[in-house]
Amino acid sequence: MGSPKTIGTLVLDRLHQLGVRHIFGIPGDYVLRLFKLIEHSPIKQVNMTREDAAGFAADAYARINGIGACCVTYCVGGLNVVNAIACAYAERSPVVLLSGSPGFAERMQHPLLHHMVRDFHTQREVFERVTVAAVVLDDPTTAERDLDCALAALARQKRPIYLEIPRDMVDVPVVMSAPPRPNHEPVTNAAALAEAIAEVRSMLASAERPLVLAGAEVARFRLQHDLEQLVERMNVPVASTLLGKSVFREDHPLYIGIYSGLVGRDEVQQFVNEADCLVMLGTILTDIEDIGAHTARLAEGRAIHATVDSVTIKHHSYNQVRMEDFIRALAAAPLTAFPARPLPPPSAVLQATPAPEEPVTLRGLMAHLDHLLTEKMVVIADVGESMFASADLHVRKGFEFLSPAYYASMGFAVPAAVGAEFADPSVRPIVVVGDGAFQMTGTELSTCLRYGLAPIVIVLNNRGYGTEREMLDGPFNDVHEWRYEKVCELLAGGIGTRVATHGELVHALGAALADRHQPHVLNVIIDPTDRSPAMVRIARRLGTRIANKG
């Protein structure tokens, strides 16, 4: 017989069974024993430079892989990763946060231990607010049951969980003295599901201009194939929310673009608003999305809205129907097939290619990048102009666009590239990041070099916070300018290039794509007054709202 399973090995075994192959984190004394167990497990430890960056990497890993994990020490590590875990909670990314903590014996001997804040429960209490389960695995007789309940909550809600292991409990053998808790996970009521599908069929039978609006939850529950099957069988157009960008293949003939009250193109907004039956699947409605058609269609009884939290058809709520079962049943149901109709044209490209000596513009950059994208690339956009400018890109592979489009935390993109490349080594991360966000977490290029990763990092160097400048300008929006291409010299690896003209951009991107063996950093010099088409749309719409309220 093998050695008895301990609390530490139990956790790692469960995570490996669920698909975790990498854990991102930073060591500390309260978690060193757990790190040693990881070293001897099938899971690879990936050391980052900051705990919050480890959280962002685990988040991106989870969005692609289906589950991610992060391991940090007590309080100074754990409380530094709160922001990243909050992002994962807000945007439904299933991340497991492992934390060490002081052992019980030392708590008795030294009540004022280092790293502690207020009392020994403070860190767990903080994470109770940004996770769906926060447990301390300190009892060998209940550890397995508590762990499995937490993992079940993560799987059901696709949101983070917090697992704390006191360091003197890591090697304690697990004892199953209590029977397992019964499974109280909600189960879809078959009769309610049949009634919901029948109501959808009745709605569609009288519709002429139906449209599907797809959101991020479709991808979180791995329902992209069901969505594509549903759309193709019905022959209906599909748009996505900004947070759900690329959940449906953007080169598909039925895809019309992003529908968002702030970011979407006018022709897409109008087309969606004219739909007489709006089928919203997995959409997380935020102020950035600002989906006015949602409220109007619900009030008129012409909307179907299915999320993890509820399934609503017309004015009826089907509380006993899970979203994933509803979407799968829709994909299999004999629904009406609609005749083809004219769709909005694709987003406009440059009328003419800029001359090589012309300065780089956001429009020229995105048009050229759009031309280069393939199925072997994942686009990772930080917030602000990076995200807004990237919104009009046509991602060629299903759900290969990552951005914190709802929580909107700066500093996401570079560490997310680490998680994305570990989750799927077949894809090349294309990172679009502003200079301000790069100064926050760009040090994760060191992690890329350490582990042989090769992202292409495009730094939009406009010497400040462009989005904030658009809202209210002032010197507080300025950023000290770095020579971003020189960071590769500091890190002793990678290729850095300063890009000021369109010709230099074309050459630098071509060289980066041809070199799959190391990171490339492009310091792209952008005029501080340059704005992407999406940012122009945002400014115009916000201005109109302010004027109408005045």
Cα–Cα nearest to 428, from 376, 469, 362, 466: 376
Residue 549 has pLDDT above 80, yes or no: no
Separation CA 88–CA 404 (nearest Å): 9
Whole-prediction pTM: 0.92
Which domains are delineated in the chain? 7-166 (3.40.50.970), 190-332 (3.40.50.1220), 362-537 (3.40.50.970)
Q: Which helix (H) or strand (E) holds 306?
A: strand 303-306
DSSP 351: S
pLDDT in tens, 3-46: 679 999 999 999 999 999 999 999 998 899 999 999 999 999 99
Separation CA 151–CA 498 (nearest Å): 46
Separation CA 220–CA 214 (nearest Å): 12
Confidence at residue 533, expressed as pLDDT on a 0 to 100 scale: 81
Beta strands, E only, 453-548: 456-461, 495-499, 520-525
The one-letter amino acid code at 344 reads P
More confident residue, 500 or 294: 500
Beta strands, E only, 387-427: 401-402
Confidence at residue 115, expressed as pLDDT on a 0 to 100 scale: 64
Confidence at residue 1, expressed as pLDDT on a 0 to 100 scale: 44
More confident residue, 207 or 470: 207
Structure tokens at 94: 């299933």
Q: Is 408 left (phi over 0), alpha (psi -120 to 50) or beta?
A: left
**Percent of the chain beyond pLDDT 90?**
70
pLDDT in tens, 347-397: 765 557 899 999 999 999 999 999 999 989 999 999 989 998 998 888 876
Which value, to the nearest 10 degrees, does the dihedral of the CA atoms of residues 511, 515, 516, 520 take? -60
Structure tokens at 223: 């329902």
pLDDT in tens, 74-85: 988 999 999 999
